[in-house]
Chain A
């Protein structure tokens, strides 16, 4: 698929080159309108990165604008005709943007949008229709003899179908992308329904009879030429129906086949319209190829949900680097592909295994769960005594217990500090000053406490022993203080059990700290204490 898409990108570039060369070399009076379309195209493309979800619509409009002007440029028609078509191109741009938005919301909305946008386009085409190029008029009639003899319509149909068919061929058939000078054969093929052959020849034989049924229907609709409204409505209906059929067929076929069928039928539905749907379906195809076909199996059946699913696939396509990089063409594609390369590492391993749900929602949910479990593992390492526990609920319990115990310890210690402090004002100040000195000296020594501190922190001593020792050490504290602390001790005794199995690790750590801070024999602390005045330790009480 990558190779195909590269070729496709090359084709697009080629088209662009053709377009520019046509602009430069031919000094025809329709350069003005072409520039107009060009600017409109650039406007649309520049406005596209703003809405990230509609990033998928950017290449649509891009490719549409790329191919469409080349089609007109290479036709040996005169300036008025081209002016008309450039008008139509503008209309088409409006139509594509509006319809691409509408397809996200619902299937029935685009019908109205297209009605509104296409009526002036049709009139414009009819105005220019009398300048029928001889090639198109030669090719068209033999297969479309049942069509009314409105040359304006025929030309319009030829042009429009050539947009979509040309795009289709460029998209899917990398080898059949003849340069634009031979585009009238394209249009003729589109009119005669030969793109089917192109699809089939390219390995899309899985496009079932439904798609091929859809296409004559739509061509007939276009052939009726009874105004654009009914045609568009029917096209949108057929589009909906084709989506339906794609979904229903998805349960039976593999994802690739179904996607191609959907693409084909959608392309048939939108063939006379514009290339928007065709490109849209292209996105669907890629998205489906990238994910499992399980998604198609599980995809909802109602049309509104089908559109939802469609947007989901598009979003996934945005996440997926391949589809984004391939969809976007030229300079626009580079940025997107770069950004998607960043996302690639995150999302490439998210792929659903067999039997797992492949909704974007459930994929995201799975990613999230993996993240959570990863962090739980981290917490497991952090919370002592939690390493042997299996099961998230028990682990959460352990974590909660540990946090609670720590908070209670803080409470208890603050209580102790509150009772203990008052008699040590001077010492605290001296200590603080020396600490400040140490910190300004840049040393990382801990606290500079007296050496007698190391005594209670032998790793063997239990917490209760420390606490009781601390309590007994409160010589001058009143009975009230003792009572409050005793009550706290009871509370502490409640949580002591879960933590008592644990704390050898932090006792070790503490031991290290105390040793670091207090033993002058260790090199680190000797450095640290070297910055302090030598009388520091002696000055400590």
Chain B
């Protein structure tokens, strides 16, 4: 959004795409090394989940901590990987879901804590309690704590990055499927 980070020219998105592709391919490679051939449906689901998380994490790490949404994603991924490090040793699937929910719980608690100091500001928000903005807040990571100005900002950036991510992933998929 801000011109220093992403001027609307062609190049920065290309750069982001490039970096994202590098990171994502590396992450995919790591995943492939870990477990080779999924045949079970469940395994495939878990694997795709991991791929998705890897994609989000790669994009967030490319963007860095400049943006609120990338910060939120990175935070989530870090906590998740910490919990998963424990869980991978125990090798249980169900607890995986549990840890995710507990992560979400932590996130909500922190959100509440952060929202408290400036409550008046958000009372003034005209969009605040409209359903659409709430929806958007749920969609954009880390958007629960922003005021609506920031929300629009972050949404714009997030959309840009997400579109780039989708493109790169599409190219990857097509590359893999066609060969």
A-side residues, CB < 8 A to B, are 361, 365, 368-369, 371-372, 375-376, 378-379, 382-383, 392-393, 396-397, 399-400, 402-404, 406-407, 409-411, 413-422, 424-425, 427-429, 431-432, 435-436, 439, 444-447, 449-450, 452-453, 455-457, 466, 469-470, 473-474, 478, 480-481, 483-484, 506, 509-510, 512-514, 516, 541
* Cβ 8 A contact of B132, one of A378, A400, A444: A400
Known contacts A393-B130, A413-B169; A383/B176 CB under 8 A:
no
Q: Which residues of A contact B28 (CB under 8 A)?
A: 417, 421, 428
A455 and B178 contact, CB distance less than 8 A: yes
B159 and A383 contact, CB distance less than 8 A: yes
Known contacts A371-B149, A382-B160, A446-B21; A480/B41 CB under 8 A:
yes
- Interface: B108 (CB within 8 A): no
Binds A, one of B12-20, B76-84, B87-95: B12-20
Q: Which 9 pairs, one residue from A and one from B, show the smallest C-beta to C-beta distance?
A: A375-B152, A473-B177, A418-B48, A414-B52, A414-B51, A413-B169, A415-B48, A418-B47, A396-B132
Within 8 A of A (CB), among B9-38: 10-11, 13-15, 17-18, 21-22, 25-26, 28-29, 31-33, 36-38
Q: Which residues of A contact B1 (CB under 8 A)?
A: 375, 378
CB of B156 to closest CB in A, whole Å: 5
B149 and A432 contact, CB distance less than 8 A: no
Binds A, one of B60-68, B98-106, B110-118, B135-143: B135-143
Q: Which residues of B contact A410 (CB under 8 A)?
A: 52, 55-56, 162, 165-166, 169
Q: Which residues of B contact A514 (CB under 8 A)?
A: 171
Q: Which residues of A contact B147 (CB under 8 A)?
A: 368
Task: Please give me the residue from chain B that is nearest to A397 by CB atom.
Answer: B132
B176 and A421 contact, CB distance less than 8 A: yes
A429 and B159 contact, CB distance less than 8 A: no
- Interface: B172 (CB within 8 A): yes
B167 and A378 contact, CB distance less than 8 A: no
B173 and A399 contact, CB distance less than 8 A: no
* Interchain CA distance A429-B47 in the complex, whole Å: 19
CB of A491 to closest CB in B, whole Å: 13
B159 and A403 contact, CB distance less than 8 A: yes
- Interface: B4 (CB within 8 A): no
Q: Which residues of B contact A425 (CB under 8 A)?
A: 29, 32-33, 36
Q: Which residues of B contact A419 (CB under 8 A)?
A: 38, 44, 48
A422 and B25 contact, CB distance less than 8 A: no
B176 and A418 contact, CB distance less than 8 A: no
B-side residues, CB < 8 A to A, are 1, 10-11, 13-15, 17-18, 21-22, 25-26, 28-29, 31-33, 36-41, 44-45, 47-52, 54-56, 124, 126-127, 130, 132-133, 135-136, 139-140, 147-149, 152-153, 155-156, 158-160, 162-163, 165-179
Q: Which residues of A contact B21 (CB under 8 A)?
A: 435, 446-447
* Interchain CA distance A404-B155 in the complex, whole Å: 12
CB of B92 to closest CB in A, whole Å: 20
B173 and A470 contact, CB distance less than 8 A: yes
Known contacts A403-B162, A407-B162, A428-B28; A379/B41 CB under 8 A:
no
Not counting A413-B170, A418-B51, A514-B171, a sample of 17 additional A-B residue pairs whose C-beta atoms are within 8 angstroms of each other reads: A368-B124, A372-B127, A375-B149, A396-B136, A399-B136, A407-B162, A410-B166, A411-B52, A419-B44, A419-B48, A421-B31, A435-B25, A436-B22, A447-B18, A466-B170, A480-B41, A484-B48
Known contacts A419-B44, A420-B177; A403/B139 CB under 8 A:
yes
B38 and A409 contact, CB distance less than 8 A: no
B167 and A510 contact, CB distance less than 8 A: yes
* Interchain CA distance A474-B168 in the complex, whole Å: 19
A432 and B29 contact, CB distance less than 8 A: yes
Known contacts A452-B178, A453-B175, A473-B178; A483/B14 CB under 8 A:
no
* Cβ 8 A contact of A372, one of B41, B149, B175: B149
Task: Please give me the residue from chain A that is nearest to B160 by CB atom.
Answer: A382
* Cβ 8 A contact of A541, one of B47, B56, B179: B179
A420 and B45 contact, CB distance less than 8 A: no
Q: Which residues of B contact A447 (CB under 8 A)?
A: 18, 21, 168, 171-172, 175
Q: Which residues of B contact A421 (CB under 8 A)?
A: 28, 31-32, 51, 176
Q: Which residues of B contact A372 (CB under 8 A)?
A: 127, 148-149, 152
B52 and A428 contact, CB distance less than 8 A: no
CB of B152 to closest CB in A, whole Å: 4
CB of A407 to closest CB in B, whole Å: 7
Q: Which residues of B contact A427 (CB under 8 A)?
A: 179
Task: Please give me the residue from chain A that is nearest to B25 by CB atom.
Answer: A432
Q: Which residues of B contact A510 (CB under 8 A)?
A: 167, 170-171
B177 and A474 contact, CB distance less than 8 A: yes
* Interchain CA distance A72-B139 in the complex, whole Å: 69
Q: Which residues of B contact A481 (CB under 8 A)?
A: 41, 44
Q: Supply 16 A–B pairs (Cβ within 8 Å), ascending by A.
A: A393-B132, A396-B133, A400-B132, A402-B159, A403-B155, A406-B159, A407-B139, A407-B162, A421-B28, A428-B28, A446-B18, A449-B175, A457-B174, A466-B174, A510-B167, A541-B179
* Interchain CA distance A397-B134 in the complex, whole Å: 11
CB of B127 to closest CB in A, whole Å: 8
Task: Please give me the residue from chain B that is nearest to A393 by CB atom.
Answer: B132
* Interchain CA distance A513-B51 in the complex, whole Å: 23
Q: Which residues of B contact A469 (CB under 8 A)?
A: 177
* Cβ 8 A contact of B158, one of A403, A446, A449, A470: A403
B149 and A414 contact, CB distance less than 8 A: no
Q: Which residues of B contact A368 (CB under 8 A)?
A: 124, 147-149
B51 and A422 contact, CB distance less than 8 A: no
Q: Which residues of A contact B38 (CB under 8 A)?
A: 418-419, 422
* Cβ 8 A contact of A446, one of B17, B124, B153, B162: B17
Task: Please give me the residue from chain B that is nearest to A374 by CB atom.
Answer: B152
Which of A417, A419, A452, A474 counts the most B-chain CB atoms under 10 A from its CB? A417
* Interchain CA distance A8-B153 in the complex, whole Å: 45
A513 and B155 contact, CB distance less than 8 A: no
Q: Which residues of A contact B158 (CB under 8 A)?
A: 403
Q: Which residues of A contact B177 (CB under 8 A)?
A: 416, 420, 469-470, 473-474
Q: Which residues of A contact B51 (CB under 8 A)?
A: 414-415, 417-418, 421
